Amino acid sequence: DTEVTQTPKHLVMGMTNKKSLKCEQHMGHRAMYWYKQKAKKPPELMFVYSYEKLSINESVPSRFSPECPNSSLLNLHLHALQPEDSALYLCASSQEPVNEQFFGPGTRLTVL
């Protein structure tokens, strides 16, 4: 299995909602990433997990909360988001943090 899967594909939420994005990989990769991508812009790194430990938090607002329950699974918990948080949220994994990254198809998030 050489895929990174993400669910849901689309999500619409209000500013007071709590939701979670899910990412899964079964390639035995030890590094997992969350990116945010606005339209016609490059992906921006949000979080990096290496061996299930949070290694990088790029000054992301606390309304985004990552979680890595095990080496195959990565969640992004969302709470009290703003309309400007609407974007494509991409998950990626790599064998080690230095290797090429495999990206999932993303979750298209709309905050009303």
Which residues would be at the binding site for another protein (CB under 8 A)?
4, 31, 33, 42-45, 48, 50, 55-56, 88, 90-92, 94, 96-106, 108
The residue (of 48 and 78) whose beta carbon lies closer to another protein is: 48
| CB-facing half-sphere around the CA of 51: CA atoms within 13 A | 1
Distance CA 57, CA 24 (A): 20
Q: How far is the CB of 53 from another protein (least distance, A)?
A: 12
**CB closer to another protein, 20 vs 50:** 50
Q: What is the H or E stretch that residue 84 is in?
A: none
CB of 72 to another protein, least distance (A): 17
Q: Using alpha carbons, select from 110, 93, 84, 112 the residue that is nearest to residue 35.
A: 93
CB of 104 to another protein, least distance (A): 5
- Cβ proximity to another protein: between 44 and 67 the closer is 44
- Residue 27 burial by Cβ neighbours in a 10 Å radius (0-12, 13-18, 19+): middle
